[in-house]
Amino acid sequence: MRRLAALVSWLVLCVGWSSASVQVGSFQVNPVRLTLIAPQTTTAFTVTNRAVQPVVVQFRVVAWRQEEGQDVYVETQELLVTPPIISLEPEKVQTVRVGLRRPLPTTQELTYRVYVQEVPGPPQPGVEGVQVMLQIGMPVFVRPQTPGAPVLRWQAQQTADGTVQLRAHNAGNIHIQIQQVQLRWGQQPETTLQLSEAVYLLPGQMRQWSATQFATRGEVGQLLRISARTDQGVLDVEIPVGVP
């Protein structure tokens, strides 16, 4: 009796950490983050087939913005990826080009993601279960023509149960990526804020976390020392803690 063909499930990886390349399953992408700086309007990346069989990969572009701490993606024609689909034999490498199809921004960075998707092949005879296909969401940043920089501003409040609500706001005109945050309050031991992944803060956007690791309630106005490891280096600051 013939077995059912495999179902297809997509595994999406939105690249956060600032590694030079990433490999998931059958293919490798290098680099995994692209930046266009005026007057540059084109760039490129490579895809390498690390599997023992041919692989087909296609590309999809979305505009990327953030609303209330959440990523929002919308289909766009503002970036052109060529070729739009490739077929690679084992261990072969293909260069893929990315071009901006709109004028360079003047005052604020533009942000996109290029999704690199493995195209499922025909079901193998006798195979059943779930076939996991891979999709990498690669950030693309287009810097404004006006010189810019991220401006990371912090606020902190402590609730009645001792939880510290920590808020980070990017007041600059280009993104910043927060990779790790360490906190020290008074004489309490230093604690590391639990981030599930590196966090991008796009221009004008805010993220909030709760730090529940503090054992005792501090005094209002006491300084909280914050050390943030980012793609702009380590940023240290001291801010007073308020109450809601």
Q: What is the pLDDT of residues 202-240, one digit of tens each?
A: 999 999 988 775 545 556 667 889 999 999 999 999 998
This prediction has a pTM of 0.84
State the residue for tokens 């793609």: 231
Asked if the domains at 10-142 and 152-242 fall in one CATH topology, the answer is: yes
Q: Say if residue 243's pLDDT is above 60.
A: yes
Peptide bond preceding 84 in cis form (omega within 30 of 0): no
Residues 6+ apart with CB under 8 A from 143: 35, 36, 37, 38, 105, 109, 174
According to the model, what pLDDT value does residue 8 have?
45
Q: Where are the domains of the chain?
A: 10-142, 152-242
CATH of domain 10-142: 2.60.40.10
The residue type at 25: G
Neighbours of 204 (CB within 10 A): 13
**152-242 CATH choice from 2.60.40.10, 3.40.50.300, 3.20.20.370, 3.60.20.10:** 2.60.40.10
